[in-house]
Amino acid sequence: MGLPRSSPFSSMAVLVFVLGLVLNAAVLCNGGITSTFVRKVEKTVDMPLDSDVFRVPPGYNAPQQVHITQGDHEGKAVIVSWVTVDEPGSSKVLYWSEHGKQKKQAKGKVLTYKFYNYTSGYIHHTRITNLKFNTKYYYVVGIGHTERKFWFTTPPEVGPDVPYTFGLIGDLGQSFDSNRTLTHYELNPQKGKTVLFVGDLSYADNYPNHDNVRWDTWGRFVERSVAYQPWIWTAGNHEIDFAPEIGETKPFKPYTSRYHVPYKASGSTAPFWYSIKRASAYIIVLASYSAYGKYTPQYKWLEEELPKVNRSETPWLIVLMHSPWYNSYNYHYMEGESMRVMYEPWFVKYKVDVVFAGHVHAYERSERVSNIAYNVVNGICTPVKDQSAPVYITIGDGGNLEGLATNMSYPQPGYSAYREASFGHAILDIKNRTHAYYSWHRNQDGYAVEADSLWFFNRYWHQIDDSTK
């Protein structure tokens, strides 16, 4: 005989059952923090063509869109690139060290490309080699009345305890918010010395016929930073520029014409995946939009690359890619999944410290998790805490015209430690072989404010639990 519905025992049973459900949900869905920061809702729009940040430098054939990146594997070379619009001019770079008397010259190459009804300016790429570590250099591009002078500082010699500060920017574009992000990066009292850029540069492809004029404006916009410190490039989907409807069938044409990287120095066969050493960091750049399956060039390269990383020389193993593997927003959800399935076991085996990705226009940081046990039939398909796994950080919050990704999945998954739909940038400040301080800075705050921060403990030298929840 059953108990009457109104009995106190039955009420208690229901209460216990409900409590059990709640507790169970709390265990299963032990997500981190979804920030409650309230933003002013504003439309993200591109800066108009006559904006001051897009100003063309004065003078006949003046070099514009000047940018530098690392030019070799260990930081003793720099690739200097710029555009001249009236005539090819000279691809020579004149350079000298701050305390050196002798001026040297490096000669480069010039190229142009066409994209539908657009013809590029003359794009110069010149590699300066045999530089001294930890030295300030001045350099001059252009000739005659239109010479332009800039400077950069080479990194310290590669070594395990060399401090170094990286900036992190992704999905920048050229909106008013993009300008705020770049300004916040520049004015952050924690001075980044090199930007790790996680893909999606100009967003020119959002314009009719991928209006490549917007590649030029972007180059002029970011010159104020990238002419003075290297940005390490990752290719995103907005670099593909595949437009068969207007006869443009060669992917990555504007990007590869404008942005050269030192891929051959790391044995890569294409500019979309490569590695560099810089101070105490080993940085591997991967390509979300190039083939990565088994037997592909990228797969074979990465398989041979990871065992080469000597953590006694470069303790910090950092990977950059565009499409994130761990992403709890409803934008681009699981787009990185097939690459995760291919490469995640290697990342755990080789103890990657941190993976930075973009693509999702928001910020998110994971706990150290892996999801490599699943073998289709065993049902073990939930990410688990794993102290040999990297922290995954989505930093696609540069501020491009597509706006913020505000729609998140609920409940917040257990792997997600902190997430917030705001524009911003991050700083990774490596102190020595064991410790690095990381901070994320939203654009609405003062320049020194850290909206999210943590200490990273190196996975090779100091593998203690650095969970944040």
> Which residues are tagged catalytic?
332
Cα–Cα distance measured from residue 64 to residue 248, given in angstroms and rounded to the nearest whole number: 26
Rounded Cα gap, residues 226 and 73, in angstroms: 19
Sole window of 143-151, 234-242, 264-272, 455-463 interacting with Fe ion (rule: CB under 5 A):
234-242
Cα 231 from chain centre: 10
Beta carbon nearer to Fe ion, 200 or 223: 200
Q: Does 361 bind Fe ion (CB under 5 A)?
A: no
Nearer of residues 64 and 237 to Fe ion, judged by Cβ: 237
In whole angstroms, the minimum distance from the beta carbon of 400 to Fe ion comes to 9
The CB-of-445 to Fe ion minimum distance in angstroms stands at 25
The one among 351, 359, 361, 365 contacting Fe ion by CB under 5 A: 359
Cβ burial of 243 (10 Å; 0-12, 13-18, 19+) is: middle
Q: Which stretch binds Fe ion (CB under 5 A): 140-148, 268-276, 355-363, 444-452?
A: 355-363
**Least Å from the CB of residue 330 to Fe ion:** 15
Q: Which residues of 383-406 are buried (b: 16+ CB within 10 A; e: fewer)?
A: beebbebbbbbbbbbbbbbbbbbe
Using CB under 5 A as the binding rule, the residues of this chain from 161 to 200 that contact Fe ion are 200
CB of 359 to Fe ion, least distance (A): 4
Q: How many residues bind Fe ion (CB under 5 A)?
A: 4
- The full DSSP string for 238-289 is GG---BGGGTB-STTHHHHHH----GGGGT-SSTTSEEEEETTEEEEE--TT
Nearer to Fe ion, 121 or 236 (CB): 236
- Give the one residue of 64, 84, 237, 458 binding Fe ion; rule: CB under 5 A: 237
Tokens 């923090």 -> residue: 33
3-state secondary structure of 224: helix
Q: Which is nearer to Fe ion, 360 or 427 (CB)?
A: 360
Binding map of Fe ion across residues 364-393, x = CB under 5 A, - = no contact: ------------------------------
**Closest residue to Fe ion using C-beta atoms:** 359
Q: Give least dist CB 231 to Fe ion, A.
A: 17
**Which residues, 194 to 233, sit near Fe ion by CB under 5 A?**
200
Q: Other C-beta atoms within 10 Å of 11: how many?
A: 11
Furthest C-alpha separation in the chain: 102
CA dist 264 → 65, 72, 276, 301, 302 (Å): 24, 8, 11, 11, 14
Separation CA 420–CA 422 (nearest Å): 6
Q: Among residues 154 and 400, whose Cβ is nearest to Fe ion?
A: 400
By CB under 5 A, name the binding residues for Fe ion.
Answer: 200, 236-237, 359
